[in-house]
Amino acid sequence: MSKVISHSLFTDFDIDLFKAGKHFKLYEKLGAHLIEVDGVKGVYFAVWAPTAKSVSVVGDFNYWVQGEHHLNVRWDSSGIWEGFIPEVSKGSLYKYKIQSHIDGVVTEKADPFALYCEKPPHTASVIWDLDYNWKDENWMHTREQFNALDKPYSVYEVHLGSWRRAEHNRFLSYLELADELVKYVKETGFTHVEFMPIMEYPYDPSWGYQLTGYFAPTSRFGKPQDFMVLVDRLHQEGIGVILDWVPSHFPEDGHGLGFFDGSHLYEHPDRRKGYHPDWKSLVFNYGRNEVRAFLISNAVFWLQHYHIDGLRVDAVASMLYLDYSRNEGEWEANIYGGRENLDSISFLKEFNEVIYSNFSGVQTIAEESTSFLMVSRPTSIGGLGFGMKWMMGWMHDTLKYFQKETVYRKYHQNDLTFSMTYAFTENFMLPFSHDEVVYGKKSLIYKMPVDEWQRFANLRLLYGYMFTHPGTKLLFMGAEFGQTNEWNFQNSLDWHLLEYDYHSGIKRLITDLNALYKSYPALYEKQFTGDGFEWINYSDHQNAILSYIRKGNNPNEKVIIVCNFTEVVRENYRIGIPENVKIQAIFNSDKTIYGGSGIEIPNQLKIDSISYDGRDFSAELTLPPLSITIYSYS
């Protein structure tokens, strides 16, 4: 095997950008790159290890012997070690053996910029490329009209390892998912899929939220190009792809980023800022320029090379506050005496600025559970710059309300109406995510009270309420057909439930709600602005009924929604109508095709010149039990 040849892909300008934390395509320089030097094919290696005394590449091409292939440290104090090794080829396994200046400390690390990794529990990096012939040109050229904030945005959240399993509980591959999952998402009408983390991770029970291979799709389901096929197929069917992205923490696994070169390189050296007590993981040092460049480069990488349409940023709240999950004495205030993590806030703003200035038709979404202000407002006016924020308060309040038996709901209507007092302070996404159906929280269907009929009627009502409430939508896999068991990452969803009418009825309802959402601009064009919503009556606590209007850009086209949160059928229930117009029924969750009781509502409402609810006109409705009925008028 040939020795290391001095070679560099870095220019002086690259190094200046890297040191300043402004190099956002580091994956083009750092890592392992198949190239040709003076007519000889091989691999150029580059790794950042500023406190290293020596760095060797070890792999199956040199029998994992340290010292066979020493990299050369750059002269410019960048801390980058590099070199070209001839004859190393695609598919070879490798790691970096790093001897620290600290006496006796030697680490053996996977490549932070590896494009492909060994299948866990093995931990080596794999020499690979990103060659692929994309076929999604139409989507990429037009996706802005599908991903914009005034478009329908209905997300199906998926854990690839447990959506569906093959024989003997085997994972489906990316290629199998490109057939089965794409067909299913198209059939049910979701506009986007969100994948729980697919970057390489060592420990299955982490669900992918403890990453070691930030630039590599997990090899559990196939090769990087196989994942590209999955994304490509979704795009060809007009379905956007969102990835969960985890810049908040990383595990202490020996081959990962922690204590990388014998020093606290990626993690903050102060344990009060560099360790997450809940997840027993390390926290990035957001004040270090090179670390910021690593993370933002990673975000850019997925959007550029995998054509991803959005990044849902995990655990943003844990990044914003120095005292997150810490007791008194376990954290240190910022320079102004506050609890905000100023380095992290600065990083998140820069991340969003880079993404939105370099990619059209993408969105960033914050999983942020606190009252931190202006998460989804532009950085130019002091916001964090995200496109959307999860509306966790709405989710908690809504589920709390629905878990109550109907006789008590008249005392708790505020749980539902409160969300409208702050609904337009952010660009909110309404999530029923994986977090709500694990660890004893029960599945959504079993959060609903009383008997089987009421449970399913409540679930249908819950989904109808969600799809007509302002904001975009997210539903975790299995919820669309009333999965009864809690989510278990080790097994497939309970697909056999679709053999039963109640469950197939829920799936039919979700399919129709997705179609309705996409068909009526009043339900999405102003989903983030107050002029897109109007109460008809929010104070009928006694009957546990809400009625409201959704509006879009066309002032003559509106949607009226009436929710009956009890099992009592309401005959001749009067609501105020703004105008004397033709009002047509477009949805009834109580239909028998959904598993409902089949109480019919008139196809067209009769408008009376009777003042009601502060309006000049009104109409009498029939409200089926535990139902949502929806009407349109123009």
CATH of domain 12-109: 2.60.40.10
Determine whether 270 is an active site residue: no
Is a pLDDT exceeding 70 seen at residue 309?
A: yes
Choice among 136, 226, 261, 367 that is catalytic: 367
Distance CA 233, CA 135 (A): 8
Q: Is 475:156 a contact under the CB 8 Å cutoff?
A: yes
In the residue annotation, 314 being an active-site residue is answered as yes
Task: Note the pLDDT tens digit of each residue in 251-263.
Answer: 999 999 999 999 9
pLDDT in tens, 326-350: 999 899 999 999 999 999 999 999 9
Side-chain-facing half-sphere of 477: CA atoms under 13 Å = 24
Q: Is the dihedral of CA 351, 356, 362, 363 positive or negative?
A: positive
How far apart are the C-alpha atoms of 465 and 483, rounded to whole Å? 19
Check if the beta carbon of residue 36 is closer than 8 Å to that of residue 47: no
Q: How confident is the model at residue 102 (pLDDT cuts 50, 70, 90)?
A: confident
For 34, counting Cβ atoms within 10 Å of its Cβ (0-12 exposed, 13-18 middle, 19+ buried), the class is middle
CA distance 279 to 282: 9
Please tell me what DSSP assigns to residue 272.
Answer: H
Nearest C-alpha neighbor of 31 from the set 119, 100, 127: 127
Domain boundaries of the chain, sorted by first residue: 12-109, 530-633
Beta bridge partners of 332: none
Q: Which two tokens stand for residue 58?
A: 């070890």
Rounded mean pLDDT of 266-286? 95
Q: How far apart are CA 570 and CA 575, in angstroms?
A: 12
Instruction: Give residues with Cβ within 8 angstroms of 30, minimum separation 6.
Output: 46, 47, 48, 80, 112, 113
Q: Residue 36: exposed, middle, or buried by beta-carbon count in 10 A (0-12, 13-18, 19+)?
A: exposed
Residues forming a β-bridge with 146: none
**pTM: predicted TM-score of the whole model, two decimal places:** 0.96
The residue-averaged pLDDT of 628-633 equals 96
d(CA 210, CA 207): 8
Strands 192-195 and 154-158, bridge-based pairing? parallel
pLDDT > 90? residue 634? no
Reference 573, options 596, 601, 549, 614; nearest CA is 601
Pairing between β-strand 93-100 and β-strand 52-59 as defined by DSSP bridges:
antiparallel
Cis peptide before 431 (omega within 30 of 0): no
How far apart CA 608 and CA 511 sit, in angstroms, is: 34
Model confidence over 178-201: pLDDT tens digits? Answer: 999 999 999 999 999 999 999 999
Residue 578 — very low, low, confident or very high, per pLDDT cuts 50/70/90?
A: confident
404-446 tens-digit pLDDT = 999 999 999 999 999 999 999 999 999 999 999 999 999 999 9
Q: Is the pLDDT of residue 223 over 90?
A: yes
- Could you give the CA distance from residue 231 to residue 305 in angstroms, rounded to a whole number? 11
Rounded distance, CA 356 to CA 59, Å? 39
What percent of the chain has pLDDT above 90?
Answer: 97
* C-alpha–C-alpha distance, residues 152 and 519, integer Å: 9
The one-letter amino acid at 43 = V
pLDDT value at residue 67:
84
* CATH architecture entry for 530-633: Sandwich (2.60)
Q: Which residues contact 329 (CB under 8 A, 6 or more apart)?
A: none
Mean of pLDDT over the chain? 96
CATH topology match: 12-109 vs 530-633: yes
* 409: three-class secondary structure by DSSP: helix
Residue 630: predicted pLDDT: 98
Residues with Cβ within 8 Å of 579's Cβ and at least 6 positions away in sequence, in order, are 617, 633
Q: Is the pLDDT of residue 365 over 80?
A: yes
Number of other residues whose CB lies within 10 A of the CB of residue 1: 13
Residue 354: what residue type?
Answer: V
From CA 211, how far away is CA 91, in angstroms rounded?
22
Per-residue CA distances from 382 to 202, 259, 372, 484 (Å): 38, 35, 12, 44
With 70 as the cut, is the pLDDT of residue 1 above it? no
Q: Radius of gyration of the chain from Cα atoms?
A: 27
User: Of these residues, 314, 397, 436, 567, which one is catalytic?
Assistant: 314
What is the predicted pLDDT for the residue at 313? Answer: 98
d(CA 227, CA 232): 9
pLDDT tens digit sequence for 39-62: 999 999 999 999 999 999 999 999
Q: What are the residue ranges of helices labelled H in 432-546?
A: 444-447, 452-468, 501-519
Residue 138's H or E segment, with its range, is helix 137-142
Check pLDDT > 70 for residue 596.
Answer: yes
CA 156 to CA 185: how far, in whole Å? Answer: 8
Query: Rounded to the nearest 5°, which phi and psi values hold at 388?
Result: -145, 165
**What does the pLDDT read at residue 515?**
98
| ∠ CA 287-13-249, rounded to 5° | 25
